[in-house]
Amino acid sequence: MGYLEKIKYILRGSRYYRKYFQTTVNSLRYYFRNLHYYWQLYSFKKDREVSGNTLYFIIDPNIKHPGLVDRFKAIVGLFYVAKINGFDFKVIFNHPFKLEEYLSVNKYNWIANQSELSYSLQNVRLIPYNGSGKIPRLSKTIKQYHVYCYIGYDIIISSNHVLDAESVWRNLFLELFKPSQALNECLNCCSLDSSGYVAVHLRFVNALENFEKDQFNSLTEDKRENLIQRCLKGIRLIIDQNKNKQIVVFSDSKVFLERVKVLPVIVLDGKVGHISFTENTHEVAMKTFVDFYAISKASRVIRILAPEMYNTVFSYYAAVLGGIIPEELHV
């Protein structure tokens, strides 16, 4: 299994593979996975009467899932698909946490539960969300479409040349979500400058420590120190360019967050981790949501990038949510 995961990691990093093969490979992979769902869960027997047409996004606790922003891309993309096809849209997201504990309904009631689902093929079809593909057409003769399989690509911003795509994505997100009371309380405890602060984001994955399974960018001790020093130098430059502004640093690396405290910056409290790992806790999920919203409320968003680091879009989508033009600093 280790060799298979390493091959997948290498392929995901190949521009040639992503450009010419990934959409087709994912379509085939999800086709066979959906056959498994049909076999395990669905039948031709009528189980219930269903009114209206609804597209459901369903988090299956029995399969591996990507990070928070990849899930956001799938949810917002499917909401867009539902809207342009004249369907209602619902989300069943109860693993590894309930989404509504962190995000409340804003203008559109997206919350659903398993009891609403039909498992009769007289009512239902399964489709994947392949964000690198075309926007699917849904048939009104089908009462429910269920989506278990998805990839964290953006069908609005990245794949289909939607006019004013970032604003479309932002407005759809805001139509669905607002911070829950618990999330708002945590955000209010951050004591960030309401007049504007600079958010600096760095994603190391496993470059400095073991953070995420099946990532293979670990470094030797000398290379780790070299990378840390280059990133600290980049943050010093940002501090010099933003006199009298709070500089708030966000990262997936506990090692770097400790090292950066030698500089006059703010590091938010909370337990750093990846929400996809089952051993993670409420504290990890809350920290991830707090970081995302705190970045979205900044006056500037800068992601620091290096060849050894992960080209994260976490801060990019937080900036999109905040209506901010994201910036990059290469070190």
Q: Per residue of the chain (331 residues), give pLDDT as tens.
A: 466 666 665 656 667 766 667 778 888 888 999 999 999 999 999 999 999 999 999 999 988 888 899 999 999 999 999 999 999 999 999 988 999 999 999 999 999 999 999 999 999 999 999 888 889 999 999 999 999 999 888 999 988 889 999 999 999 999 999 999 999 999 999 989 988 999 999 999 888 987 666 555 678 999 999 999 999 999 999 999 999 999 999 999 999 999 999 999 999 999 998 887 756 689 999 999 999 999 999 999 999 999 999 889 999 999 999 999 999 999 9
Strand pairing partners for 57?
A: 91, 147
Give residue 281's pLDDT.
81
| Residue 27: how many other CB atoms lie within 10 Å | 15
Give residue 5's pLDDT.
63
Give buried/exposed letters for 153-190 (b at 16+ CB in 10 A, else e).
bbbbbebbebeebbeebbebbebbbebbeebeebbeeb
Q: Of 279, 275, 277, which Cα lies nearest the Cα of 288?
A: 275
Tokens of 67: 């990070």
CB 56 within 8 A of CB 117: yes
Is the Cα torsion angle 249, 170, 93, 149 positive or negative in sign? negative
Tell me the CA distances in angstroms from 130 to 12, 61, 136, 314, 316, one per residue in order.
15, 20, 9, 19, 20
Peptide bond into 96 cis (omega under 30): yes
In angstroms, the first-to-last Cα distance of the chain is 34
Give residue 1's pLDDT.
47
* pTM of the predicted model over 0.85: yes
Helix (H, G, I), strand (E, B) or coil at 18: helix
Q: Which residues contact 274 (CB under 8 A, 6 or more apart)?
A: 67, 211, 212, 252, 280, 284
Q: Of 118, 133, 139, 127, which Cα lies nearest the Cα of 57?
A: 127
Hey, what amino acid is at 61? P
Give residue 273's pLDDT.
86
Q: Of 300, 307, 77, which Cα lies nearest the Cα of 315?
A: 300
Helix (H, G, I), strand (E, B) or coil at 250: strand
Give residue 213's pLDDT.
63
Hey, what amino acid is at 283? E
